[in-house]
Amino acid sequence: MEQATLGGGCFWCLEAVFLDMIGVTKVQSGYAGGHLANPSYEEVCGKKTGHAEVVQITFDPAKIAFRDILMVFFAIHDPTTKDRQGADIGPQYRSIILTHGSEQGAEAQSVIAEITAARLWSNPIVTEIAPLTKFWLAEAEHQNYFARNPWSGYCQAVVAPKLAKFRKNFSSLLKA
């Protein structure tokens, strides 16, 4: 098993998508990329910890490649907006890939170069790539959020459309 740690806006959106992906065995919402030990949701939302909302994905590389995870990641969020995803604004919502080794870093650079060359986005990609130093697990109420709250306003307006986009555009990567 391998891990990937990604931030692309609210962690609830990424978690819902990656839980549906073949080869993924676990997705945990949390915080990374900051300077405060064991931050709380309120501290991260206070924009002073440096952390991003992220998901840590455990996957079987024999069933799904890190590259495929990145392709989905870049399709379900806007990697061209600094510290923002839609109405969610702040450094905690930045686009970031926190790598688990130099191979992931090289693969992330390669995917960004490919997406840039294909002009899939009209603006430059601003996704940060940095080595993961520490992942802090988010509070229990943030785990498996969409599955537990599918009818909440935020889930209906923001999470559900991203999940639908993934299911439509990446049907070959859906769990059975």
Q: 27-64 pLDDT, tens per residue? A: 999 999 999 999 999 999 999 999 999 999 999 999 99
Coil/strand/helix, residue 135: strand
Q: Which residues pair with 136 in a beta bridge?
A: 31
CA gap 146, 123 in Å, rounded = 30
Q: What is the mean pLDDT of the chain?
A: 96
Contact 56, 4 (CB under 8 A): yes
Return the pLDDT at 23: 98
Rounded to whole angstroms, how far apart are CA atoms 56 and 130?
14
Q: How buried is residue 114: exposed, middle or buried, by Cβ count under 10 Å (0-12/13-18/19+)?
A: middle
Q: How far apart are CA 50 and CA 143, in angstroms?
A: 21
CATH number at residue 133: 3.30.1060.10
**Cα–Cα distance for residue pair 176/133, rounded to 1 Å:** 34
45 is catalytic: no
The structural domain count of the chain equals 1
> Which residue range(s) make up the domain with 11?
2-173
| pLDDT cut 90: percent of the chain above it | 97
What was the pLDDT predicted at 176?
84
Instruction: Find all residues with CB under 8 Å of 23, minimum gap 6, and list them.
Output: 59, 60, 61, 62, 63, 64
Extended strands (E) in 60-169: 84-85, 88-89, 95-99, 128-131, 135-137
Segment 92-145, tens digit of pLDDT? 999 999 999 999 999 999 999 999 999 989 999 999 999 999 999 999 999 999
